[in-house]
Amino acid sequence: MPMETIAHTAKKCGVAIEPAAPFRLQCLSDEECRRIHLATLEVLKKTGVVVPSARATEVFADHGARVSKQDHRVFIPPDIVENAMSTIPHQIRIPGRERSRDCTMGDDSLGFINFGTTVFINDLATGERRKSTTEDVAQATRVLDALNSIEILITVLSCTDKSPLTETMHATAAMLANTTKPVEAVPPTANLIPKMALMGEAAVGRDVFRQNPFFFTGVCVVSPLQLVDECSEVLMASVEHNFVTSVLSMCLAGGTSPIHLAGTVVQHNAEVLSGLILGQLLKPGAPMIYSSSTTSMDMLFGTAAVGSAEGAILNAALARMGRYYHIPVRVSGG
């Protein structure tokens, strides 16, 4: 029953119903956020981040970071961190192919995105478990397009019937043909970014797409503390094409990051900030998102404990860190 109907009925019965306050899970105080930030500055300055990409290290070096050519490690001083983080927009618009489907992120806005890139599917007709295909991507996209609660779409399934080299492009094309919502693509190599732009231009025209680039790109830092080529090169290409760019880390507490949750928050923060800083040094003011899919490691099976209590605590803390920096933030829901 709609809330308005409930309120009207209650009023007739003499019962007053006050609007519910937004639910918030805030597990870090301002002081705790400040301490995590200071610890992050220490990690970026003293431990640094491994950045194999020659172009990315050049961008860092040109802005005053120290680069160790021996192990491709970049040491980022606090002033660079502070200046770069201050240029990220507090609120961003993620364009849809139709403007009515635009999504706004930042400040107190709240929205949802599906999880994605699943390799297997249970066939609805036969019930068998099989690898997903391009047609499955198209069908799943149509379902997601119809769900009002999902504002941004990420490729929900993989096109295993296509070459791994072009699978992302096939999946993006299948989604583009079946939704007008913003589409997040996670291309494995930077050379696919301009091809995605050409795809968008073919759909709506060059000028329209360049004014309203409706692709949303995500990159993932490799834990611990590595901006590998697949991350930094894609990130730079995405920023240069004016795509909204999400920088994600997938720390595993007790595996690729400290088992102490506070230590994992610091490491995750350092990893994501390194990517955000690279994007801002390249193009100050570029629309970027602080993201997390961090959780704990299942010590029995050596896998990611998705949906664990520790994962919920970590992502609540990391969402708080994104808000501490006053920038758009996205975290996994478990």
Neighbours of 165 (CB within 10 A): 10
Decide: 222 and 252 in contact? Cβ < 8 Å: no
Average pLDDT, the chain: 90
pTM of the predicted model as reported, rounded to 2 decimal places: 0.88
pLDDT at 175: 93
pLDDT tens column, 180-202? 999 988 888 999 999 999 998 99
Q: Please, what is the angle between helix 167-176 and helix 192-204, to 10°?
A: 20
What is the arithmetic mean of pLDDT over 73-78?
Answer: 98
Is the predicted pLDDT of residue 161 greater than 90, yes or no? Answer: yes
| Least confident window among 13-17, 24-28, 37-41, 55-59 | 13-17
Is the predicted pLDDT of residue 271 greater than 90, yes or no? Answer: yes
pLDDT band at 10 (very low <50, low <70, confident <90, very high): very low
**What residue spans define the domains of the chain?**
29-91+214-334, 96-204
What is the arithmetic mean of pLDDT over 100-108?
Answer: 89
CA 68/CA 266 separation, integer angstroms: 23
CATH superfamily of 29-91+214-334: Trimethylamine methyltransferase-like (3.20.20.480)
DSSP annotation of 190 reads T
Is the predicted pLDDT of residue 9 greater than 60, yes or no? Answer: no
pLDDT at 14: 53
Decide: 46 and 19 in contact? Cβ < 8 Å: no
CA 334/CA 326 separation, integer angstroms: 24
CA 311/CA 322 separation, integer angstroms: 16
Is the predicted pLDDT of residue 4 greater than 60, yes or no? Answer: no
pLDDT at 188: 87
- The partner residues of 113 in beta bridges, in order of sequence, read 152
Lookup: tokens for 6: 């409930």
Q: DSSP secondary structure string, 86-110?
A: TTS-SEEEE--SSGGG-EEEETT--
Q: Regarding beta strands 303-304 and 295-298, do their DSSP bridges make them parallel or antiparallel, or are they unpaired?
A: antiparallel
Lookup: tokens for 147: 């769900």
Decide: 116 and 132 in contact? Cβ < 8 Å: no
pLDDT tens column, 313-328? 999 999 999 999 999 9
